[in-house]
Amino acid sequence: MSRIFKAVFAEIPMWVEFIISRFPGRTGWVLRRAIFRKKVQQSGKNISIGIGVEILGGNNICTGNNISIMKYTSLYAQGGAIIKMGNNISINSNTCIGADGGEIIIGNNVIIAQNVVLRAADHEFKSVKIPIKEQGHIGGKIIIGDDCWIGANAVITRNVSIGSHSIIAAGAVVTKNVEPFSIVAGVPAKLLRKRE
């Protein structure tokens, strides 16, 4: 068997997964859920996976029950990273949850709007003699407590903890810990008020 044929044959599972990830209707939903459960370390009940969801490092991903992940969302947990999700979580379209050598923990009853970025690692940049892209990553940790709402286009950086019952406004860039029952907004995010 030629090397080219072997390479093509090895890619068949990727092509099948790609086609299923874009398959429409109820059949696509059932097939995507089956692939998700096979790909991740642990998956709870009542999982809904949208079209085009990308998963890397699935053996480092654990989810609870009642999880909705909408179209074109990415979950990255390769390189020893960890992603853990509780129960009753809704993740809207085009969200990127990238642990990349770090850890992301999402509590129960969390709403994550579209285009949100959770990034638990930064690029290393100590040396000016080596291109940044060749210096690797520095892993960290993101914790999102229970009953939080992360607004559209928000960014949460590494080593940040979002306290339970908090709201992160649309477009906020969160670089520091957020206390429970807080509403934060802005770049960088600052406290607007406490929830009563």
Catalytic residues: 123
Q: Cβ-count burial of 173 within 10 angstroms (0-12 exposed, 13-18 middle, 19+ buried)?
A: middle
Cα R_g (the chain), whole angstroms: 18
Q: Which helix (H) or strand (E) holds 7?
A: helix 3-21
The DSSP output letter for 49 is: E
Distance CA 116, CA 124 (A): 22
Nearest to 149 by CA among 109, 98, 102: 109
Question: Looking at the DSSP assignment, which residues form a beta bridge with residue 97?
Answer: 75, 118
Sequence letter at residue 167: I
Q: Compute φ and ψ for 142, nearest 5 degrees.
A: -125, 130
DSSP 186: T
Rounded Cα distance between 129 and 124, Å, is: 12
